[in-house]
Amino acid sequence: MRVKHLIISFLVICLVLAGCSNDDNKDNSKAKNNKSTQTLHVSAAASLTDVTKDLEKAFKKKHKDVDVSFNYGGSGALRQQIEKGAPVDVFMSANTKDVDALADKDKARNTYEYAQNQLVLIGVKDSNYHSVADIKRDDKLAIGEAKSVPAGKYAEQYLKDNNLFDKVKSNLVYAKDVRQVLNYVEKGNAQLGYVYKTDLYQSQQNGDSKVKEINTTDLKKPITYKSATTTDNKLAKEWINFLKTNKAKDILKKYKFDA
C-alpha cells in the first residue's frame, strides 16, 4: 500500500508541474503577442518596386519592430485609392501632381520631392529603330494610361510636343503601369515602349534582358517624384525623414534615380 501511495503522489506532482509549465508557456506566448509589430503601409509607384525593397532594409535597421507593407501601382490609381479611404500611411508618387492633389484636399502632409527620373524609348533587342518616328504600320507602341500613370502622361505629352502623337496614335497600346509596358516589350507584344530609365536598368540587371534603350526623351520639365504622409502614424513621418538621409539617397542613386 505504501508503494502504491508513493506512486500516486509522484503522479500528482508530475501533473502539477506539467500544469505550471503550460501556464508558463501561455504567459510567454502572451508576452510575445503583447510585443506587437507595427505596420507601415506605403503606396508606391510601380517604378519603385525594386528600390523600395532596399529602402525598407535600411529603414528597418533602426526600426526593427516595424513591418513595411507596400502597395504598387500607377500613381493616379493609388491617389484615388487614398481619396476613397484606403489604409495608407505614406504615398510615394512618380510625379508631383497626385501628391499635390491630395494636399489640396488636406489628405497629404509632410511633402518631399525625393527623386528624379528620365523617360526612355525602348525596343526589342534585335530591332533597328532609331526613334519612335520609325514605327511601322502594324507595330505597337506601349505607354502607360495617361490618366493614371505618370510615365504615360509624360510619353503622351512628349509625342504631342514633337508632333508625333497623330502619327503613332493607331499604334498605341495602353498599360496599367510602367512595369506592364516593360513586360509588353520584353514579351514581344509591343515593339516599342516608353518606360523610366530606372526600369530599363533593373531589367538589364536581372539577367538576359530582351530590350534595349533606343533614345532618351527630351522633356520640357524634369520627372520629379514626390512623397507625403497620408495619416498621423508617427512612423509615416519617420519614413519621410529617412528619405532625406544620405543613406536613402545613395540607395536611390544605386537604382539610377537622381537624388
How do the domains of the chain map onto residue ranges? 38-116+225-254, 119-216
pLDDT digits (tens, 9 = 90+) for 108-126: 999 999 999 999 999 988 8
Query: In this structure, are strands 192-196 and 172-175 parallel, antiparallel, or unpaired?
Result: unpaired
Residue 75 marked as a ligand binder: yes
Cβ-contact 72, 92 below 8 angstroms: no
| pLDDT tens track for 165-207 | 999 999 999 999 999 999 999 999 999 999 999 989 988 887 7
pLDDT at 34 over 60: no
Record the cell numbers describing residue 92, joined without a space: 510615394
Q: Does 43 belong to an annotated binding site?
A: no
pLDDT band at 98 (very low <50, low <70, confident <90, very high): very high
In the chain, % of residues over pLDDT 70 = 86
Read off the pLDDT of residues 120-171 as tens digits, 9 standing for 90 and up.
999 988 888 999 999 999 999 999 999 989 999 999 999 999 999 999 999 9
Do the beta carbons of residue 109 and residue 229 sit within 8 Å? yes
> Do the domains spanning 38-116+225-254 and 119-216 agree at the CATH topology level?
yes
Helix axes 246-254, 51-60, angle to 10 degrees: 150
pLDDT tens for residues 1-22?
454 554 445 444 444 444 444 4
Residue 47 marked as a ligand binder: yes
CATH 3.40.190.10 fits 38-116+225-254, yes or no: yes
Q: Classify domain 119-216 by CATH number.
A: 3.40.190.10
Ligand-binding site membership of 178 (annotated): yes
